[in-house]
Amino acid sequence: MNQDTNSKTISNAVIRRLPRYFRYLRELIRNDITRISSKELSEKMNVTASQIRQDLNCFGGFGQQGYGYNVTNLYGKISTILGTDKGYSAVIVGIGNLGKALANNPLFEKRGVKIIGLFDTSPEVIGNDVAGLKVLDYSEIEKFLSENKADIAVLTVPKNKGKEVAEKLAQCGIRGFWNFSNMELSLDEYNVKIENIHLGDTLMTLCYEISKLDEENEAQK
């Protein structure tokens, strides 16, 4: 109970930074580094050391003065907080290019999420083998989800289908939506969580940064 209350007080901003810690720590483990100071981690991650201490203190402070952080412990705790040990499973709806790329991406496995079903509406796609699974007919998804528990739906369906598909899946018990269908999904009526992904946003930021860079270079001439 106490731990529960404790973890609820973690701010959204900290939570958003945790996957980065997760990635850096995994890299350290891969390189056989067993402990690290907040200063070293700070240099690697380009975040201030005090920010790191503050962030990690939210979970009860894993660090020891003069010793630093035990990398394996810290990685384990962050993994647990992020739910990678929950054994979540996912279905992908829409097996076009992006759906296929995601199905084949090791990112799911690395984060402990198992893909258990792929769905599409196109006769040319249904029945194909993708990432070791046979693509199923979307019209069978209700039946599938009544027989197989899935926690997450990855949506790579056309924009105008996003809401309709998501509502159906929420009724089938899906609790998390990883939405690539390029629309802002909201399902206020359902008790679900949604991450809307807009890949293009970071491309635009990059274009802005290049144009600033060019302006600066121009001004220095």
Residue 152, strand partner residues:
90, 176
Q: Hunting for tokens 């810290």 — which residue is that?
A: 74
How would you class 17 by CB atoms within 10 Å of its CB: exposed for 0-12, middle for 13-18, buried for 19 or more?
middle
DSSP state of 135: P
> Which among 205, 153, 206, 151 is positioned nearest to 180, based on CA atoms?
153
What is the spatial distance between Cα 27 and Cα 24, in angstroms, rounded to a whole number?
Answer: 5
134 in contact with a copy of itself (CB under 8 A): no
Segment interacting with a copy of itself, rule: CB under 8 A, options 58-66, 67-75, 111-119, 141-149 = 111-119
Count, residues near a copy of itself per rule CB under 8 A:
63
Supply the minimum distance, in Å, between the C-beta of residue 181 and a copy of itself: 12
CB of 207 to a copy of itself, least distance (A): 4
Bridge partners, 119 (sequence order)? 93, 136
Residue 197 touching a copy of itself (CB under 8 A): yes
Show the beta-strand stretches assigned E in the chain: 35-36, 69-70, 89-93, 114-120, 129-130, 133-134, 136-137, 152-155, 176-179, 193-196
Q: Mark 145-174 with x for binding to a copy of itself (rule: CB under 8 A) and - for no binding.
A: ------xx----------------------
Q: Write the DSSP assignment of 89-110 as a string of letters.
A: EEEEE--SHHHHHHHT-THHHH
- The contact mask relative to a copy of itself for 6-25 (x = CB under 8 A, - = no) is -xx------xx-xxx-xx--
Among positions 45-74, residues that touch a copy of itself (CB under 8 A) are none
Binding segment toward a copy of itself, per CB under 8 A, in 31-39, 49-57, 140-148, 202-210: 202-210
Closest alpha carbon to 179 in 79, 170, 171: 170
The answer to whether residue 31 forms part of the interface with a copy of itself (CB under 8 A) is no
Decide: is 33 part of the binding site for a copy of itself (CB under 8 A): no
- What is the contact mask toward a copy of itself in residues 71 to 90, using x (rule: CB under 8 A)? ----------xxxx-x-x--
The residues binding a copy of itself (CB under 8 A) are 4, 7-8, 15-16, 18-20, 22-23, 81-84, 86, 88, 96-98, 100-102, 104-105, 107-108, 110-113, 151-152, 175-178, 182, 184, 191-193, 195, 197-215, 217, 219
